Amino acid sequence: MTDDWKGLSEALLLWPGFERGSATLINLSENHTFRIDRPDGGKAILRVHRPGYHSRLAIESELAWMGALRRDAGLFTPRPLTGNDGALVQEAEFLGDTRHMVAFAFEEGSEPQEEDDLAPVFRQLGALAAQCHAHIIDWTPPWPFERQAWTDAAILDPDAIWGDWRAAPGVSGAVRAMLDRLDAHLRAQLADYGMGRDRFGLIHADMRLANLLVSDGVTRLIDFDDSGFCWFGYDFGAAVSFFEDSDTVPALRAAWLEGYREHRAYGPEDEAMLDAMVMLRRMALLAWTGSHAETELAQSLHDTFASGTAEMAKRYLTTGTIDR
């Protein structure tokens, strides 16, 4: 066990073969994510959940949908590993709290980077999103089933899931005024667009580059932890997280739509809302930079993310598009 994470030694006893494994932190965002290296040379992924974010039922519901996507739609999703007691969700002490934990089989692949040629990735990502959306329209979830809803209120209200965007670093003065205008505009747009079954349902909700694995040219989705009920187009908004203002976004939008329409219709009214979804996601991320200030990623964004969001908002409110 690495010195920094000796507190996991008791938790690793909950899974067969993990007893003498070593833990390496590979990501700290919503959760702590570790790679477990076992003495036999095998590897696994251990997700230690953020306290108070998801109930046990919500995590079990996430895993149920992932299993249904594998079974019903033939899609790749991460494979959870059962603990010694046969359960997929375990509980153990970590950093002074009792945390939910889930172990997953290790999968080979690498995270795509913003500077890569992302068009092939986004074409496949659009196809994956369409297949997930088509599945959820016809799927009957097990009962009980619990996942959060990423509505406009759940993202933009002061008590939003990821916190209040108004309290994020850099939100004051002219920036605050511009974002207030955007907030009101998005709410009105989304109310007009509506939540019909053809456009709103259970989605991955976090298809950003960090949650993709690419191996031999094949793009696969991981980390369904933020999956919840939202507009289908939000999956594109999430896909361009943290580089929403890049000049590459128009081409990536076109690639995503091409892949999507190979599996499911996406009409002009839906396409016209994609930039609104990008801005809605950007506001969610702005709130996240404040509520998750302990993470390196949030800290790296504090100086510029609010002002950059306001610049995007001004362009969007003026021209109706995020494109430069």
Residues 280-293 have pLDDT tens digits of 999 999 999 999 99
The percent of residues in the chain predicted with pLDDT above 70, rounded, is 98
pLDDT at residue 30, as a whole number: 86
Reduce the DSSP state of residue 90 to 3 states and report it.
Answer: strand
Number of alpha helices (DSSP H) and beta strands (DSSP E) in the chain:
11, 10
H helix or E strand, kind and range, residue 141: none
pLDDT at residue 6, as a whole number: 60
pLDDT at residue 76, as a whole number: 97
The whole-angstrom separation of Cα 65 and Cα 88 is: 14
Share the mean pLDDT of the chain.
96
Model confidence at 2: pLDDT above 80: no
Residues 200-231 have pLDDT tens digits of 999 999 999 999 999 999 999 999 999 999 99
The percent of residues in the chain predicted with pLDDT above 90, rounded, is 94
pLDDT at residue 3, as a whole number: 42
| Orientation of helix 274-291 relative to helix 173-193, angle to 10° | 130
H helix or E strand, kind and range, residue 80: strand 80-81
Model confidence at 5: pLDDT above 80: no
